[in-house]
Every structure is written in C-alpha cells, then in structure tokens.
Homo-oligomer: A and B are copies of this chain.
Amino acid sequence: MDQIKYELPETEMPRQWYNLAADLPTQILPPLGPDGNPISPEMLAPVFPMNIIEQEVSTERWIDIPEEVRQLLAMWRPAPLFRARRLEKALGTPAKIFYKHEGMSPAGSHKPNTAIPQAWYNKQFGIERLTTETGAGQWGSALSFACSLIGLECKVFMVRISFEQKPFRRVMMETWGGKCVPSPSEETQAGRHILAEMPDTPGSLGIAISEAVEQAVTDPSGKTRYSLGSVLNHVMLHQTIIGLEAKKQLAMAGVKKPDVIIACCGGGSNFAGLAFPFVQDKINGDDIEIIAVEPKSCPTLTRGPFSYDFGDTAEMTPLLAMHTLGHNFVPPPIHAGGLRYHGMAPLVSQCVVEGLVKPKSYHQLKCYESAVMWARTEGFIPAPETSHAIAATIDAALQAKEEGKEKTIVMNWSGHGLMDLLGYEKYFSGQLADHELPQEDIDKGLAAIADLPNAPENKTGKW
C-alpha cells in the first residue's frame, strides 16, 4: 500500500515557534504612528496585551510555545501531511505533491493556530474579553472557538454583507459562545458614523476593524483587547508551527529538501505558516522556489507597491510597511473572502522585496476548476482561498512534467470549503466571472497613499 498520510505523534509537536525576523537579510521597517515616527510598544498597549506586543517586536529566532497552548493545539495537531498521489496520477506528473492539511481543526482552517495562543496570552494578562472583525468568517469562527476553550468572551464584527449571506458562520460562532454582530453596527461611534452617512452600506473589513479596535480601547474596565487573525508579526510567528511540522513529516517521507513551496496569500498568515521555516533554509543557501498565490482581482503582491499604508479604511491603525492596493481599496466580490485584503503582512512583503518569495496571481475560474479537480481526486473540498494554492500547485506539477523533473512540491491546504459552497454553486451554474483589476483601481490606491511615507525598496536595514 502507498502511504498517504505522514503523521507526527503529539510528543513531536514543535516546542518553539520560528521567528523569521531574526534571519531576514534586511529588518522590516517599523510601524509608524500618526506623527510619522515609529510607535513604541507602549503605544500599542490599549490594543494588545504586553506579552503579545513583546512577540510582535521580538527578533529572537525561537520563541517557546507554552505547554498549555501545546496541550490545546493537540486537539487537532500535529496536522497530517498528505501525499496527493491521486492528483499526481491524474496529472501524469513525475512531481511528488505533498500537502499540509490544515482543515482538520474544529474551525476548519489554520486560523486556530494563532487564535489559541492569542486567547491564552490575553487570559494570562488578565484580559476578559476579545474583540475582532471577520470577513468570510474563518477568523471569527476560530477566535470564538479559542475563547470558548480558554474562558474569554468574544465579540466579532462581521462585514454586513457576509453576515447576511452566510448566516451559518454566525451560528458556528454562537455555538462556541461568541457574539457576532453585523458591521457597521450601532454599537460604536465609527459604526454609527458610517451608518448615518451610508445606511445601506454592505460594510467592509476596514470598517469592521475600526469598530473592533474602538470597542476594545474604549472599554472603561480595561479588560478588553483586540485580536487580529493575520498581517501582524506575532500571527505569522504562531502559524510557523505548520512549516515546522511539515519539515519533520517530509523527513519521514524521505524528502531531504522540497523544491517548491506554495500557499495562498491574503493577509499572509497561512502562507507564512508553511513558508517561513523554508525561507530560513533559502536564506541559508537552499535552492527552494517559494510561491505566494493571490487572486488577480486583489493583486496586492503582484501589482501593489511596497509602501507605508494604514491597515484599515478609517486610518485608525498604525502605518505598516507592506505591499498595498491602498487602504481605500474596495475588492470585487470574489468568493475567496480571505484573499480580499488591501494590504499584506510586512514580513511577507519584505520576503518579496528581498526576492525570497515569488508572488503569482490567478483568476477565479481557474481556481474553481482546480478545486473541483482536487475534490474529485483527493476527496477533500477546499476553501475558495485554498483553491488558489491548488491552481499554482497543478501548474508547478505540469511544469515538472514538461521538464521531466521529479520535483517535490509542498502546498498548504489552508482549509475546507464546506462553509463556502455557495461559490461552488455559482461556479457550476456559470454565474462566476474572472476579474482583472483595471489600472485605474491601482491608480486610485496609489493616490490614497501618495502622501504617506514611501518605502519602495527597503534595502537599507535601517529602522
């Protein structure tokens, strides 16, 4: 029998996260405050607990995973590494395709990998309630799940259009005890302000972030903090458990070094999770192609400039040095909700600037076609976000076939699509179309960041 799954025992779960900030040839640029000067850790204190802020600014290479966090992660981790033998056969490729299955978590994606430590650190710090935003719902579900295990209240501002279109995401969060409200809401000043101006707005991630941050920082008890599911350094850090496990599992499969690493990339968290431990190897001389895949309709890495920009539409967050389509960017309504963010994790952006990571963009229809091929060979139905990684994996495998090379490809299967079948239905019934972002939208984004500090080539190493 051909082995399909490479599984680590719980005792082999990594004991430390890997911090890429320690190894990047050039340090990432610091976040800037409203005055244009680097912000201090203390300035973030109303938003995040200090133990998480310490991780955010750390340049230590290895950071211990608390034992209690490992115990909670053991509910589904280590996640299996699969060999996609049936897909290989269907493609007739000499490539070996491995995928890390992050859809086995109770919330169905990689998001709990950071939701659990974030909830845990907040609890340790004496926090009683977390606020956050969610678009497609993956992150809101994951944080509700984590809070239910750790004993925190959880409040999720869900983009109104998603709240209405995906009522079952809300039910998931409620099942774990989370409270989910449509954003914009009447609960915050930011929400009321927007509702007064645009009563029929479908909402946006930018608005929801503003509401969640406001509710955290204005709680007079001081016991509420905000939690973010992507973009920030500590989120990337927590996700590296994916790649660290994958390395051990590849060794079990007899692979000394993979040739290609592939993951989809929205804010950067599942990509960083698989890729960063391999980026370290690449920095140390290994020949590895590392591909970040995004939609052509939200081409942050492939067409957005590297610049300082706000993380939210309302300009409440610090300025981050990243690839961006502009904080006023309104993404077309594609179904990969997790890939519709205007910005990108600074650490991932810096990898692209350094040439360590190659971004690639795909159209929606090709991604759904790839997802259906996947379901009919490998069985598991992928999330629309994950289908982007699958499209690139199929291309890489076909390229290996053309070249006659026995490449090893490792992909991050970031989550299942059982809560996102509406997109499949629209695909089958011909209701979906491709969308190439017009240059004028890119120009609008450029105009929005024109007055912000620019960082077109961060090769200076200066903070």
Give me the interface of A with B, judged by CB distance under 8 Å. Answer: 1-5, 7, 9-11, 67, 70-71, 74-76, 86, 104-106, 108, 145, 148-149, 167-168, 171-172, 174-177, 372, 375-381, 418-419, 421-422, 424-425, 428
Partner of A10, one of B5, B11, B71: B5
Report Cα–Cα, A108/B395, bound state, in Å: 29
Is there contact, CB below 8 Å, between A172 and B86?
no
Is there contact, CB below 8 Å, between B171 and A421?
yes
Is there contact, CB below 8 Å, between A75 and B379?
yes
Q: Which residues of B contact A145 (CB under 8 A)?
A: 379
Report Cα–Cα, A355/B444, bound state, in Å: 75
4 interchain residue pairs of minimum CB distance: A106-B379, A168-B421, A171-B421, A148-B376
Q: List 6 A-B contacts (CB under 8 A).
A: A1-B11, A1-B71, A4-B74, A167-B425, A175-B381, A175-B428
- CB nearest to A174 among chain B residues: B428
Give chain A's interface secondary structure class.
helix
- CB nearest to A375 among chain B residues: B175
Partner of A1, one of B2, B74, B105: B74
Supposing A1-B67, A4-B10, A10-B3 touch, asked if A425 and B148 sit within 8 A by C-beta, the answer is no
Report Cα–Cα, A394/B145, bound state, in Å: 21
- CB nearest to A380 among chain B residues: B106
Report Cα–Cα, A4/B372, bound state, in Å: 33
Interface centre among A86, A175, A377, A422 (most CB of B within 10 A): A175
Distance (whole angstroms) from the CB of A328 to the closest CB of chain B:
34
Supposing A418-B108, A419-B418 touch, asked if A172 and B1 sit within 8 A by C-beta, the answer is no
* Copies, count: 2
Report Cα–Cα, A149/B76, bound state, in Å: 26
Q: Which residues of B contact A177 (CB under 8 A)?
A: 376
Q: Which residues of B contact A380 (CB under 8 A)?
A: 106
Q: Which residues of B contact A70 (CB under 8 A)?
A: 1
- CB nearest to A108 among chain B residues: B418
Report Cα–Cα, A42/B394, bound state, in Å: 47
Is there contact, CB below 8 Å, between A375 and B9?
no
Is there contact, CB below 8 Å, between B148 and A375?
yes
Is there contact, CB below 8 Å, between A175 and B372?
yes
Report Cα–Cα, A148/B377, bound state, in Å: 8
Supposing A148-B375, A171-B424, A424-B171 touch, asked if A2 and B71 sit within 8 A by C-beta, the answer is yes
Q: Which residues of B contact A148 (CB under 8 A)?
A: 375-376
Supposing A104-B104, A106-B380, A379-B106 touch, asked if A4 and B75 sit within 8 A by C-beta, the answer is yes
Is there contact, CB below 8 Å, between A422 and B10?
no
Beyond the given pairs A174-B428, A175-B375, A175-B376, 17 more chain A to chain B contacts, judged by CB atoms under 8 angstroms and listed by A's residue number, are: A1-B11, A4-B75, A106-B379, A108-B418, A145-B379, A148-B375, A148-B376, A149-B376, A149-B377, A168-B418, A171-B421, A174-B425, A175-B372, A175-B421, A175-B428, A176-B376, A177-B376
Distance (whole angstroms) from the CB of A101 to the closest CB of chain B:
9
Distance (whole angstroms) from the CB of A75 to the closest CB of chain B:
5
Distance (whole angstroms) from the CB of A172 to the closest CB of chain B:
6
Q: Which residues of B contact A422 (CB under 8 A)?
A: 168, 171
- CB nearest to A146 among chain B residues: B379
Report Cα–Cα, A424/B168, bound state, in Å: 9
Partner of A428, one of B171, B375, B376: B171
Is there contact, CB below 8 Å, between B4 and A106?
no
Q: Which residues of B contact A10 (CB under 8 A)?
A: 1, 3-5
Distance (whole angstroms) from the CB of A374 to the closest CB of chain B:
10
